[in-house]
Structure 1
């Protein structure tokens, strides 16, 4: 009898769960959570904020909505089994109710490197229905995000014709530098302002190199460099006039170090 009653109760719970709506969950989040948790911020900018600028760029006191969704659904400390959606919903509901009732940062599933910047959260009691709606919201967040904001398709920029670049490099006796950058990269902007914009640097590059700037968020790296790219911006690839890779320099460089890079590859 006990086993049968449990099955009936569990079936009723799952049946009720089917009525939970992602849109209603979003509405609840906007009403009760958005006043503390900011909306979507790209992970590229979040990484820059926390790992490169010690939270001085965004000054976040709580995780953003996409950080919460990622922590719950995709992080190494994610909640539940991705292969069992029904049970996972139950586990997320239980986690939300438990953590919000006793919000201890030491028990948080959020990125530990960001926790030190967050304010201590006051306990909040939420109902079973609210926990269910929020669970549905977080479970559907990624799919909804991708549907409404598809990732840009990367293409090789029309301004770069590899054969023409190689022909120019060979005729002028120059090497090639491919500069992998991003508009959201703080250290790229810093290096462009403090190093790459200097006349001494520009003259040296013009003398010995063909310089190609590639925004990796929207453009594919030429000369099959994608297989060597580790995702760090800035990264400088130095190639021969025949397009053969000589060296890779990830990270930003000060003037004298960058001049040394230009010299040691000749």
Structure 2
């Protein structure tokens, strides 16, 4: 039993080491063969404004950007493969890429139906088995690579330093969010996973806010917020760049409502 378990662990480790190495090759391949058509990264906040508020008149996109492709394949409503089975998912993404590129049928796209109507018809192209594998590994590793290069806009407060936070907020001209949480809080973890970890939400936060996470079981809330805190986690406090309280939002929120909170306090 121990030997089999050890072999299994080494197999998984080898798989992820290989995936990391081939991601770099896949990135080079994408840049050589795809990047001239599929533009560079555009924030989801701007993409949402472009497609849902401006009818594509802001960016005039006729083909998805590389981050739009990665999101559609890995996280969109029509995502490819099972997120819990990485080995099988690579195979399924490979097959999808080969099939779609050989026959770019709009009815078979992974892109959102609302944005597809703006895209021009794609010319068919053939890719080899090796190229399909490298591109699949590139899309598989895209989000992790971006988060490594551009970390989540979350600061975990371990001691109170109001002056340092305000200095950063003033320098960057951003307001402040204090997220009151606790390790034992089920809804805090649920909201992190379902809302705060979403790329769209992280980008909206990073655009306009300094985000401070505080475990209230171990650290006092900054800016004298303990006086306003009713003991419910999660609670979100929105403050000005100088640390003055604007609004308090106790409880967990879904993606749409939380994005609304971010927008209405600007």
Distance 1:90 1:121 in 2: 23
Q: Which runs of 5+ in 2 are unaligned?
A: 1-10, 177-206, 212-236, 239-244
Q: Deviation per CA, 1:58-80, whole angstroms, max 9, x where unpaired?
A: 11110010110011111121111
Q: Which of 237, 249, 259 is the equivalent residue of 1:225?
A: 249
Equivalent positions of 1:118-137 (< 5 A) are 118-137=119-138
1:106 corresponds to which residue? 107
2:195 corresponds to which residue? none
Larger deviation, residues 223-232 vs 39-48? 223-232
Equivalent positions of 1:92-241 (< 5 A) are 92-153=93-154, 158=166, 216-218=208-210, 221=238, 222=245, 223-225=247-249, 227=251, 230-232=258-260, 234-235=263-264
Q: Secondary structure at the match of 2:210?
A: coil
Distance 1:236 1:29 in 2: 39
Distance 2:265 2:117 in 1: 33
Q: CA deviation at 1:152?
A: 2.2
1:81 corresponds to which residue? 82
Distance 1:107 1:92 in 2: 13
Return closer, same or farther for 1:36/1:226 CA change in 2, 3 Å cut-off.
Answer: farther
Runs of 4+ displaced beyond 4 Å: 17-20, 154-157, 226-229
Return closer, same or farther for 1:119/1:236 CA change in 2, 3 Å cut-off.
Answer: same
Q: Deviation per CA, 1:179-216, whole angstroms, max 9, x where unpaired?
A: xxxxxxxxxxxxxxxxxxxxxxxxxxxxxxxxxxxx75
Residue 29 of structure 1 pairs with residue 30 of structure 2: yes
Contact 2:77 2:112 in 1 (8 A): no
Q: Secondary structure at the match of 1:144?
A: helix
2:217 corresponds to which residue? none
Contact 2:61 2:118 in 1 (8 A): yes
2:73 corresponds to which residue? 72
Equivalent positions of 1:12-51 (< 5 A) are 18=18, 21-51=22-52
Which has the higher Rg, Structure 1 or Structure 2? 1
Distance 1:217 1:33 in 2: 34
Q: CA deviation at 1:112?
A: 1.0
Distance 2:124 2:76 in 1: 24
Larger deviation, residues 224-233 vs 84-93? 224-233
Q: CA RMSD in A?
A: 3.1
Q: Deviation per CA, 1:75-115, whole angstroms, max 9, x where unpaired?
A: 12111111111111000000000000000112111011110
Return closer, same or farther for 1:87/1:217 CA change in 2, 3 Å cut-off.
Answer: same
Normalising by structure 2, report the TM-score.
0.57
Distance 2:250 2:45 in 1: 18
Normalising by structure 1, report the TM-score.
0.57
Q: CA deviation at 1:218?
A: 3.3
Q: Which runs of 5+ in 1 are unaligned?
A: 1-10, 162-214, 238-266
